[in-house]
Amino acid sequence: MTPIFDTHAHYDDEAFDEDREALLQELPKQGIARVVNVGASLSSCKKTIELMETYDFVYGAIGVHPNETAELNEESFAWLREQCQRDKCVAVGEIGLDYYWDEPARSVQKEWFVRQLDLARELSQPVIIHSRDAAKDTVDIMTAENASEIGGVVHCFSYTKETAKIFLDMGFYIGIGGVLTFKNAKKLKEAMEYIPMDRIVLETDCPYLAPVPNRGKRNSSLNIPYVVAAMAEIKGITEEEVRRQTWKNAHDLYRMKI
């Protein structure tokens, strides 16, 4: 069986404080062979660096989530630029726009989204895009910034298949996780039918968004097989085909050798 690549996890989260080490040591034994831990704030970027330096199979993404951008300034941005150049940092992220929580001001979110896109371009790294209730502004900024030259993934995709097409046309991958198994995820299932298998990557966004039958509980990469099963059913292919294709896609996305 092909192993699983969790392209988006937050094992630095306090939800894992009690058993982080035991859980992380278990993952490779359970077929989770690669994890990218994604920074969302300056402090989570620091913890991401510790995790990627501790565990062989853990890689990192360094960036600041739109709702945390109020903490950015020239000094902390310079620090981010340095950290992004570490060996095991495979992407700039997560970055983007979040109008669901809608803070700080949209102008601040936009400014740091653009700055971090430019950073990725400068360092020739892919980006991890977080976009919630902000499809139009996200697309407008990515278009204006020629994001197709940068590349990356739109994580926890939550928009329509029409919006998926725009990101696919820019050459982006689409990250899909536990939401796919939710009963009320009609829009995402439609998008999943539409998105070609060679552009999909698996993710957890753990500790959030555990798939059915563990919905509502703390999520971890160990739940990804439920997402694989849901994908296989929607696409009419085997679970092994889902594993094989997403394993390859994730390495291509993060420009890693298999």
Residues forming the site for Ni ion (CB under 5 A): 205
| 181-189, long-range: CB < 8 A, 24+ apart | 181/211, 181/212, 181/215, 181/226, 181/227, 181/230, 182/211, 182/212, 182/215, 183/212, 187/158, 187/159, 187/160, 188/157, 188/158, 189/234
How far apart are CB 158 and Ni ion at their closest, in Å? 12
**218 versus 240: smaller Cβ distance to Ni ion:** 218
- The least CB distance from residue 190 to Ni ion, in Å, is 23
CB atoms inside a 10 Å sphere around CB 174: 23
Nearer to Ni ion, 135 or 153 (CB): 153
Find all residues with CB under 8 Å of 148, minimum gap 6, and list them.
169, 170, 171
Minimum CB–partner distance for residue 211 and Ni ion (Å): 16
Q: Which is nearer to Ni ion, 6 or 205 (CB)?
A: 205
**Shortest separation between residue 12's beta carbon and Ni ion, angstroms:** 11
Nearer to Ni ion, 98 or 205 (CB): 205
Residue with smallest beta-carbon separation from Ni ion: 205
- For residue 58, what is the enclosing H or E element? strand 58-62
